[in-house]
Amino acid sequence: MNPVVFERATVRALMTLPGPVLERFAVGLETHSRSHLDSRLRFLLALSGAKPTLNSGTVEQARRNYRDMISLLDVAPVRLPVVVDHQVTVDDGSQILVRRYRPANAPRVAPAILFFHGGGFTVGGVEEYDRLCRYIADRTDAVVLSVDYRLAPEHPAPAGMDDSFTAWRWLLDNTAQLGLDPQRLAVMGDSAGGCMSAVVSQQAKLAGLPQPALQVLIYPTTDGALAHPSVQTLGQGFGLDLPLLTWFRGHFIQDPAVIEDYRVSPLRNPDLAGLPPAIMITATDPLRDEGLEYAEKLRAAGNAVTSLDYPKLVHGFISMGGVIPAARKAINDICDETKQRL
């Protein structure tokens, strides 16, 4: 049997045990106090402590390990009537993949979600997020378009951000052809992808282009400096540790001067007025404080912000819906809130 398939079967079998049993197992294994977290998540984090971290090998090894991790934990695939790959030309003349998912219950002129995956700007891609995007499309009845932006270290900041904005321009230019409602286009992403969703909203305003109708920011990074208090207080024992964050950042930010660029640090933009309504999702996460601060600044600038906070979950929960019921519920909450606002 394929080792990943075997591990997935084993983990999913363990996750069927009662929560109190898993909590007792976790207490015996864990090296950090995580008593406030979901019991199944505690057990999963305790198990993962025995595995190599993404930053323990090469970038290619990290990409393979990230792919395997998502395969282990993610929601089951949903069959959709339309899944089509598009190629979009970016600023260096190369092409990036945008995969379009149209669910069965999408209206003839449908709302759409331009989705940007997480992975520290270094790992992840459309293939890794295929099952999640299918799930989001099916749950929201919206067309989802998943963007395979260029990754660091081969393409450091702000290349990925520029790709995300190019994908937004492409979407605006092709709404009629794709059967989409130009008044109901959202951006959504987790972690690095949450940052890109914020950046697209800001850059559309700066360029005088139509802005998204909604920005869904799932535990986003909003500042390149890694200086917020939660980076230290939650930077060990909760899945996304500070050494891994630093490893990602070292690949993505190869010139420290770009930290001041609003495409890298959207939190630093002093003019946040007139941006789209936002849904800000936070968890027990080293990026928590910069997400909360961005939400506060959006509100102070007069923008509508809905906050969804999941203190019993950690960074990355969006990819854990296959084994953590609390993560699946949070994903459903995010989808349902997005559907309601679109």
The percent of residues in the chain predicted with pLDDT above 90, rounded, is: 85
**Residue in the block written with tokens 């459309």:** 126
Specify the pLDDT at position 27.
Answer: 59
Task: Give how many domains the chain has, as a whole number.
Answer: 2
Per DSSP, which regions of 265-338 are E strands? 278-284, 305-314
CB-count burial class (<10 Å; 0-12, 13-18, 19+) for 181:
middle
Same domain, 83 and 45: no
- Residues 6 or more apart in contact with residue 90 via CB below 8 angstroms: 96, 150, 162, 163, 166
pLDDT of residue 39: 86
324 lies in a domain? yes
Residue 244 lies in a domain: yes
90 and 192 together in one domain: yes
Q: For the segment 198-244, what is each residue's pLDDT rounded down to a tens digit? A: 999 999 999 999 999 999 999 999 999 999 999 999 999 899 999 99
Do 155 and 125 contact (CB within 8 A), yes or no?
no
* Mean of the per-residue pLDDT values of the chain: 93
pLDDT at 154: 98
Residue of 132, 71, 73, 133 lying closest to 102 (CA atoms): 133
Task: For residues 137 and 233, state if they share a domain.
Answer: yes
275 within some domain: yes
Who wins on pLDDT, 168 or 4? 168
45 and 87 co-located in one domain: no
Residue 112 sits in the same domain as residue 11: no
Give the C-alpha separation, 119 to 62, whole Å: 10
HSE-CB for 135 with a 13 A CA cutoff: 22
Q: Which residue has the tokens 């490893």?
A: 247
Q: What is the mean pLDDT of residues 169-191?
A: 98
Residue 66 belongs to some domain of the structure: no
Report pLDDT digits (tens) over 89-99. Answer: 999 999 999 99
- Please say if the pLDDT value at position 173 is more than 60: yes
Residue 308 domain flag: yes
213, 342 in Cβ contact below 8 A? yes
Does pLDDT of 128 surpass 60? yes
Same domain? For 38 and 100 the reply is: no
Q: How many other CB atoms are there within 10 angstroms of residue 231's CB atom?
A: 21
Which residues are marked as active site? 191, 285, 315
Is there a single domain that holds both residue 131 and residue 42? Answer: no
CATH of residue 123's domain is: 3.40.50.1820
Sequential DSSP letters for 147-176: E----TTTS-TTHHHHHHHHHHHHHHHTHH
pLDDT of residue 43: 83
Of the candidate ranges 41-55, 71-85, 136-150, the one whose mean pLDDT is the lowest: 41-55
Q: What's the pLDDT tens digit per position in 1-54?
A: 566 666 666 676 676 767 776 666 665 565 666 778 998 898 888 877 767 899
* Residues 14 and 118 grouped into a single domain: no
Q: Are residues 248 and 212 in the same domain?
A: yes
Please indicate, yes or no, whether residues 123 and 241 belong to a single structural domain of this protein.
yes
Q: Tell me if 59 is assigned to some domain.
A: no
- Domain with 296 in it: 77-341
The backbone torsions φ and ψ at residue 217, rounded to the nearest 5 degrees and listed phi first, read -110, 100
